[in-house]
Amino acid sequence: MPGIIPYEEEELLARIAENDTAAYAYLYDTFYNTLVYFSLSIIEDQQQAEDIATESLLKLWKSPTRFDSFGKLRGYLFTLTRNASLNYLKHLRVRERSSLEISGQENPSDNYLETLVIESDLMRLIYQEINRLPVSYREVVELLYLQDVPSAEAAARLGISMENLRQRKGRAIKELKSVLLKKGVNDLFLSIFFF
């Protein structure tokens, strides 16, 4: 799992097996978004996907296991989430068949699911760049880019003038650029932020 791991691997695995609340809070922070993204891509229902990811983490709490490695732990959580998501799809189809006599959706292929694991992890890395922005810039990026709120409404919600909003947007882009320039920056990636 990309990201910073404040626990030593061995310690984390031991604490999970011991039902240590703090370790589970950490586990949640590390995996929740990724698992929801993964499930949501399969079942296309956000609320259900949130439930499924939460249940997967709770399942581990109820029958804690001592894993050999972080990779095994991660695989276990993805497997739980995948199985629950596919079960949910099956359940949906059964209901549809009884009422409508059709079954449009097919089970996603194993290849697709494996690619999806990669995509889910990757999103976490990309989103970190936005999260590192100072609050006042991040607000602008969230409203204009992530929520597609029209400029006038965004300015009203933040309680600032249109001019001010333009300024902050410009600064947010500048800040992202300077962070990313250290890495080399691809025009394509930057164009994402010229919203």
Q: CB of residue 95 vs another protein: minimum separation in angstroms?
A: 18
How many angstroms separate the first and last alpha carbons of the chain? 30
Write the CB contacts of 15 (distance below 8 Å, at least 6 apart in sequence): 7, 22, 23
Q: How far is the CB of 91 from another protein (least distance, A)?
A: 12
When the beta carbons of 98 and 191 are compared against another protein, the nearer one is 191
CB of 98 to another protein, least distance (A): 21
What is the rounded distance in angstroms from the CA atom of residue 8 to the CA atom of residue 194? Answer: 39
Closer CB to another protein, 4 or 99, in the complex:
4
> Least Å distance between CB 33 and another protein?
5
Which CB sits closer to another protein, 102 or 135?
A: 135
How many whole angstroms separate alpha carbon 52 and alpha carbon 83?
10
| DSSP letters for 113-180 | HHHHHHHHHHHHHHHHHHHTS-HHHHHHHIIIIIS---HHHHHHHHT--HHHHHHHHHHHHHHHHHHH
Closest CB to another protein among residues 102, 179: 179
List the structure tokens of 66. Answer: 């001592």
8 A C-beta contact, residue 168 and residue 176: no
Nearer to another protein, 57 or 156 (CB): 57
Smallest gap from Cβ 103 to another protein, in A, equals 18
